[in-house]
Amino acid sequence: MTFADLGLIAPLLKAIQEQGYTTPTPVQAQAIPFILQGRDMLAGAQTGTGKTAGFTLPLLQLLSKNKPASPKRKVRALILTPTRELAAQVGESVRLYGKHLPFKSTVVFGGVGINPQIKALANGIDILVATPGRLMDLIGQKALDLSGVEFFVLDEADRMLDMGFIRDIRRVIELLPKKRQNLLFSATYSDEIKTLASSLLNNPAEVEVARRNTSSELVKQSVVLVDDTRKSTLLGKIIQERGYKQVLVFTRTKHRANKLSDYLQKIEISAAAIHGNKSQSARTKALADFKNGAVRVLVATDIAARGIDIDALPHVINFELPNIAEDYVHRIGRTGRAGCSGEALSLVCVDEAEYLRGIEKLINKKLEREIIEGYEPDPSIKAKPILQGRGGNQNGGGNRRTNNAKKSTGEAKPSGRTGQKSNPQHREGKKPAHHA
């Protein structure tokens, strides 16, 4: 099958060809025809399978065929994403695929000045890519008119629920025209997503190109057993001795990401940390340096890493296992993308045994264990609960939780699927600023 077989128009086919693509991915092949028919869509697919083009291409085609309801240029398509990096990535896809069509688009997110974004909206745009927090800020300042929206896309909807954006999402939905096409795309296809879909989508077509919460068969997964206090030195040894040139390393908290990045630099391994407390300019620079090879190791927390899309990223290392098993699938999905192979290595201490069991149960696979000579775990060390936040132990993780408990990401973000805020300011009666 080719993109032309999907019924895409010439300007889109030209843009696709210029990007070097010839064959649609499974999610694109299944989703694009349904979207072109005007159907609402619920699509679940592993990360790296081409979901962004799966909704961007047909959205652009439908916009080109439908005459706008108003002669004044209004926002006709709204795409919501959970993080700044993902918003930027989606915005770039809109720009590249729509380069031969007469549409204007812009991306808005927090961490940067709001005034240039207000000016861009005032000049009129067709397609808006936004994070929920900044979108609500713009709505609050009456800088945004959503009355002309014909297409509403929720991208990485599972992560938005994890981050506690459900109330913002519902507020946005209330402001949209009743008649519109809704597309819900998600890296995982959870029961919570189905609940949201039932209230948002009208007789949707359903596409799921991978089993729920499965890990890519292209990713070689293994575990190295090691004491927590020796993880940093072992990580340095692995990177140096195995000659890793580009590796994405995950920690549970911002503090440990900073500490680990500093340690790697001290042993002359170029590294940078990326997390929610970093300024947008710092996050953008760190990601650019990692992509172009100026930085060998990018140390990231879960939320900051969503949206990192690097062709043929060879290695992902879990310095600490996530306390929610589904996040393991998200993490290792950064490698093994677009048909390329990859390697995912997890450094696991005795405290994380429960997390490892939860992950193996979720992916229905027993991960290969390895012990590296000189770094054998001390059998006398007993497992301790992994404490969350300030005052926690060196693991810097979350309270001991089951995988069905409310999620804590370690980021300065809203958290929890119920929309309850865990920010201390909220408990003190102060309204926290939106961040996205």
* Calpha distance 372→360 (Å, rounded): 21
Q: Is 394 among the domain residues?
A: no
Give the pLDDT score at 429: 34
Q: Are 320 and 250 in contact (CB under 8 A)?
A: yes
Give the pLDDT score at 233: 96
DSSP track, 222-248 = EEEE--GGGHHHHHHHHHHHTT-SSEE
Sign of the Cα pseudo-torsion (257, 47, 83, 102, in order): positive
Q: Is 162 among the domain residues?
A: yes
175, 208, 241: which is the final residue of a domain?
Answer: 208
- Measured from the Cβ of residue 4, the count of other Cβ atoms closer than 10 Å reads 12
Tell whether 240 and 197 lie within a shared domain. Answer: no
What domain range includes position 339? Answer: 219-370
Q: At residue 108, what is the residue type?
A: V
Tell whether 130 and 243 lie within a shared domain. Answer: no
* Calpha distance 233→195 (Å, rounded): 45
> Total structural domains in the chain?
2
Tell the residue number behind the tokens 């696709």, with chain if given.
Answer: 16
Note the pLDDT tens digit of each residue in 294-345.
999 999 987 766 656 676 788 999 999 998 887 888 788 777 665 567 899 9
The maximal CA–CA distance of the chain, rounded, in angstroms, is 74
Identify the CA nearest to 109 among candidates 86, 85, 134, 92. Answer: 134
Contacts of 206 (CB under 8 A, 6+ apart): 41, 42, 43
**What is the DSSP-derived secondary structure letter of residue 382?**
P
- pLDDT tens, N- to C-terminus, the chain (436 residues): 899 999 999 999 999 999 888 889 888 999 999 999 999 999 886 666 788 999 999 999 999 988 765 567 899 999 999 888 889 889 999 999 999 999 999 999 988 899 999 999 999 999 999 999 999 999 999 999 999 999 999 998 888 887 888 889 989 999 999 999 999 988 766 677 778 888 899 999 988 775 555 555 678 899 999 999 999 999 999 999 999 999 999 999 899 999 999 999 999 999 999 887 888 788 888 888 998 889 999 999 877 666 566 767 889 999 999 988 878 887 887 776 655 678 999 999 999 999 999 999 988 889 999 999 999 999 999 888 886 543 333 333 333 333 333 333 333 333 333 333 333 333 333 333 333 3
Give the pLDDT score at 413: 39
Q: Is 325 among the domain residues?
A: yes
* Calpha distance 193→158 (Å, rounded): 6
Long-range residue pairs from 241-245, CB within 8 A, at least 24 positions apart, any chain: 244/296, 244/297, 244/314, 244/315, 245/293, 245/296, 245/314
Tell whether 229 and 138 lie within a shared domain. Answer: no
Note the pLDDT tens digit of each residue in 257-273.
999 999 999 999 999 99
Tell whether 203 and 136 lie within a shared domain. Answer: yes
* Calpha distance 271→257 (Å, rounded): 10
Tell whether 167 and 303 lie within a shared domain. Answer: no
Q: Is 376 among the domain residues?
A: no
- Measured from the Cβ of residue 293, the count of other Cβ atoms closer than 10 Å reads 10
Sign of the Cα pseudo-torsion (112, 113, 116, 122, in order): positive
Beta-strand runs (E) in 301-352:
315-318, 342-348
Tell whether 174 and 295 lie within a shared domain. Answer: no
Q: How far is CA 196 from the centre of its chain?
A: 18
Identify the CA nearest to 238 among candidates 371, 332, 352, 335. Answer: 371
- Starting at the edge strand found earlier in the chain, the sheet holding 41-44 runs 105-108, 127-130, 77-80, 151-154, 181-186, 41-44, 205-208
Q: Is 216 exposed, middle or buried (0-12, 13-18, 19+ CB in 10 A)?
A: buried
Distances in whole angstroms, Cα of residue 328 to Cα of each of 339, 349, 356, 378, 403: 20, 16, 10, 26, 11
Tell whether 274 and 194 lie within a shared domain. Answer: no
Torsion of Cα atoms, 159 then 161 then 162 then 163, to 10°: 90
Q: Is 316 among the domain residues?
A: yes
Q: Is 412 among the domain residues?
A: no
Tell whether 234 and 327 lie within a shared domain. Answer: yes
* Calpha distance 394→178 (Å, rounded): 50
* Calpha distance 33→82 (Å, rounded): 26
Beta-strand runs (E) in 303-408:
315-318, 342-348, 368-370
342, 370, 398: which is the final residue of a domain?
Answer: 370
* Calpha distance 373→375 (Å, rounded): 5
Q: Are 273 and 286 in contact (CB under 8 A)?
A: yes
370, 396, 426: which is the final residue of a domain?
Answer: 370
- Which CATH number do you get for residue 284? 3.40.50.300
Full-model pTM: 0.64
Bridge partners of residue 151, in order along the sequence: 77, 181
In whole angstroms, how large is the CA radius of gyration of the chain? 22
